[in-house]
Chains A and B, each alone.
Chain A
Amino acid sequence: NAGVTQTPKFQVLKTGQSMTLQCAQDMNHEYMSWYRQDPGMGLRLIHYSVGAGITDQGEVPNGYNVSRSTTEDFPLRLLSAAPSQTSVYFCASSRGPSGSPLHFGNGTRLTVT
Chain B
Amino acid sequence: SQQGEEDPQALSIQEGENATMNCSYKTSINNLQWYRQNSGRGLVHLILIRSNEREKHSGRLRVTLDTSKKSSSLLITASRAADTASYFCATDSTGANSKLTFGKGITLSVRP
Which secondary structure dominates where chain B touches chain A?
strand
Interface stretch, picked from B12-20, B65-73, B75-83, B96-104, is B96-104
Q: Are A101's CB and B48's CB within 8 A?
A: yes
| Residue among A40, A45, A101, A106 making CB contact with B42, cutoff 8 Å | A106
In angstroms, Cα B3 to Cα A85, docked, is 23
Interface centre among A56, A59, A99 (most CB of B within 10 A): A99
Given A58-B99, A101-B48, CB of A90 within 8 Å of CB of B30: no
Residues of A within 8 A of B88 (CB): 42-43
Q: Are B104's CB and A42's CB within 8 A?
A: yes
B109 sits at the interface (CB 8 A):
no
- Nearest CB of B to A105, in Å: 5
The size of the chain A interface, using a CB distance under 8 A, is 25
In angstroms, Cα B31 to Cα A102, docked, is 13
Give chain A interface residues in 39-98, CB to chain B under 8 Å: 40-45, 48, 56, 58-59, 90, 92, 97-98
Given A42-B2, A59-B1, CB of A102 within 8 Å of CB of B103: no
Q: Are A99's CB and B99's CB within 8 A?
A: no
Interface centre among B2, B40, B90, B102 (most CB of A within 10 A): B102
The 6 closest A-B pairs by CB, nearest first: A104-B42, A101-B45, A42-B104, A43-B102, A104-B43, A106-B42
A-contacting residues of B (Cβ < 8 Å)?
Answer: 1-2, 30-31, 33, 35, 40-45, 48, 50, 88, 90, 92, 97-105
Task: Taking A42-B2, A43-B102, A99-B48 as given, write out 4 further A-B residue pairs in contact, using a Cβ cutoff of 8 Å, ordered by the A residue number.
Answer: A45-B99, A97-B99, A99-B50, A104-B42
* 26 pairs, A vs B, C-beta closer than 8 Å: A4-B42, A35-B102, A42-B102, A42-B103, A43-B43, A44-B102, A45-B99, A45-B100, A59-B1, A97-B99, A98-B31, A98-B98, A99-B31, A101-B33, A101-B45, A102-B33, A102-B35, A102-B43, A102-B45, A103-B45, A104-B42, A104-B44, A105-B42, A106-B41, A107-B40, A107-B41
